Homo-oligomer: A and B are copies of this chain.
Amino acid sequence: MKFGRTALMRRSWLASLWLLASVAQAQDVADIPDAVRENVELLIQGGLDDTVGYAFVRDLTTEVGPRLAGSEAEERARSWSTQELAELGFQNIRVEPFPIPYWSRRVDRASIVSPAPQDMVITALGGSTSTPPGGVEAEVIRFENMNELRAASSDVVSNKIVFIDEKMTRTQDGSGYGMAVRKRRNCALTTSQKGGAACLIRSVGTQQRRFAHTGMMFRSAVVGDGPAAAVSPPDADQLTRLLEKGPVKVRLEVEVETQPEAPSGNVIAEVVGRERPEEIVLIGCHLDSWDLGTGAVDDGAGCGIVVGAAQLIMSLDEAPRRTVRVVLYGAEEVGLLGGYAYAERHADEMDNHILAAESDFGADKIWRFETRFGEGALPYARAIQRMLEPLGISPSHNLASGGPDISMLPRLGVPVVTPRQNGWDYFDLHHTPDDTFDKIDRDKLNQNIAAYAAFAYLAAEMDWDFRKLTP
């Protein structure tokens, strides 16, 4: 929500829903010819039966594995993807390279030193600095949340290891994340400002298993202001129980490698439009992943979904009028760097971006169709959603962000949609070692592929202007 606080955004969610209901009567403006309807039905059936998308995420996570931004593995992922996309028959396959600052963990471990020596399950946060060799050993001071740390005086924080124990709320739409992630973003900075030795946070996640969730401290890959790590939920509980009994001393050791510049890149492939090839319907995902798991639900699944969907559109008798562009973004996890690179490089094409969507919320089913259209274009939102209804997808609000790597496009005038996946379990796996291929259910993935194929085709085939401002 950082970008695009336009007049559209100020409209309340309820008002948007009301608008959606009212435009149901205006259905005729968004009439879809029978031939197009038949193609949509073909694409939906093809999506539900698809094997390409599932194979894409399976093979990406297996043959490449983890794909840390700026690493050799991310580079292998780009090579691997361009080859796969070529074999699938896509056009205009290319890599758009850009440099990023590089951060990688070498060592991250922690243990309780006293009163009850035991190892903890932790993971350094992206952007953490190294501790001095041998680590830092200090007494722990616990805070319920980030605000409590902010309110604390330097006297009580100085030379301590800060521990923020705030839990995350499980929701279907992922809305618990924004609140929970604040401690990850800001803990190291606030700690170092108050003279603390290091920061530990309860993992930003919803599971109660012995996994720690990594993630960036800041929206850039620049190394942060101190050592910072996330502890697994059971370890956070353990710390809290011990602290109830008396002082607890912890040792934290973090060693990181950083480079001012490393290569990343966006991989692009197209189904070129038969009438207006310069007009673009963009469907994206991100190719990089965190290093702990193999990046299956975050975001191999998204890549499987958009590649599977575009390949189905390609298999139709004729290409749609407009171009369907698949973008596999690089370096999303370290600050949406692929998204920014794309927006900058394609700045003067923005008027030709008819619609954009990024799939980056796991592999569970889509349950509602969020948009950010001009008000006059809301009948098109309703028309698309009606075609998706057989997939169990309901209408939603007009405040969509579109997805992280396209979150900067709405303020550049680009209409976006978020086909919202069920995120109930997403933060059980997100940024953990447990984000592996076996977590993906093919039937659910295929529901996504069907929906993406259907709406991307409609947007590329129909002569709709999603920016239309006057109803």
Q: Which residues of A contact B (CB under 8 A)?
A: 58, 62-66, 73, 76, 112, 115-119, 121, 208-211, 233-234, 237-238, 241-242, 245, 293-294, 432-434, 436-439
Q: Collect the chain B residues with CB atoms within 8 Å of residue A294's CB.
A: 118, 238
Are A438 and B237 in touch, CB under 8 angstroms? Answer: yes
Copies in the complex: 2
* CA gap between A238 and B76 in the complex, in Å: 18
Q: In the complex, which of the residues B63, B293, B434, B436 contacts A116, with contact meaning CB atoms closer than 8 Å? A: B63
Are A65 and B118 in touch, CB under 8 angstroms? Answer: yes
> Taking each of A58, A62, A112, which has the highest tally of chain B beta carbons within 10 Å of its own beta carbon?
A62
Given contacts A233-B438, A438-B233, A438-B234, contact A241 B58 (CB under 8 A): yes
Are B437 and A234 in touch, CB under 8 angstroms? Answer: yes
Q: Collect the chain B residues with CB atoms within 8 Å of residue A293's CB.
A: 210
A177 nearest CB across to chain B (Å): 21
| Residue ID in chain B nearest A211 by CB atoms | B210
Are B116 and A433 in touch, CB under 8 angstroms? Answer: no
* CA gap between A117 and B226 in the complex, in Å: 30
A-side interface mostly = mixed
Are A66 and B210 in touch, CB under 8 angstroms? Answer: no
List the 3 closest pairs (A to B, CB-CB), nearest first: A65-B118, A234-B436, A210-B434
Are B233 and A65 in touch, CB under 8 angstroms? Answer: no
Could you name 30 residue pairs across A and B whose Cβ atoms are closer than 8 Å?
A58-B241, A62-B116, A62-B241, A62-B242, A63-B115, A63-B116, A63-B245, A65-B112, A65-B118, A66-B119, A73-B118, A76-B116, A118-B294, A121-B433, A208-B438, A208-B439, A209-B209, A209-B434, A210-B211, A210-B293, A210-B432, A210-B433, A234-B434, A234-B436, A234-B438, A237-B436, A237-B437, A237-B438, A238-B294, A238-B437
Q: Collect the chain B residues with CB atoms within 8 Å of residue A66's CB.
A: 118-119
* CA gap between A438 and B235 in the complex, in Å: 10
Q: Collect the chain B residues with CB atoms within 8 Å of residue A118's CB.
A: 65-66, 73, 294
Given contacts A58-B241, A294-B118, contact A210 B436 (CB under 8 A): yes
Q: In the complex, which of the residues B117, B242, B436 contacts A238, with contact meaning CB atoms closer than 8 Å? A: B436
| Residue ID in chain B nearest A208 by CB atoms | B438
> Taking each of A234, A241, A294, A434, which has the highest tally of chain B beta carbons within 10 Å of its own beta carbon?
A234
| Residue ID in chain B nearest A241 by CB atoms | B62
Q: Collect the chain B residues with CB atoms within 8 Å of residue A433's CB.
A: 121, 210
Name 16 extra pairs, CB < 8 A, besides A58-B241, A65-B117, A210-B432.
A62-B238, A63-B242, A64-B116, A66-B118, A73-B117, A73-B118, A76-B116, A118-B294, A208-B438, A209-B209, A210-B293, A210-B433, A210-B434, A233-B438, A234-B434, A237-B437
A438 nearest CB across to chain B (Å): 5
* CA gap between A76 and B121 in the complex, in Å: 22
* CA gap between A347 and B166 in the complex, in Å: 54
Q: Collect the chain B residues with CB atoms within 8 Å of residue A438's CB.
A: 208, 233-234, 237
* CA gap between A433 and B208 in the complex, in Å: 12
* CA gap between A118 and B76 in the complex, in Å: 12
* CA gap between A211 and B238 in the complex, in Å: 19
Q: Collect the chain B residues with CB atoms within 8 Å of residue A65's CB.
A: 112, 116-118, 238
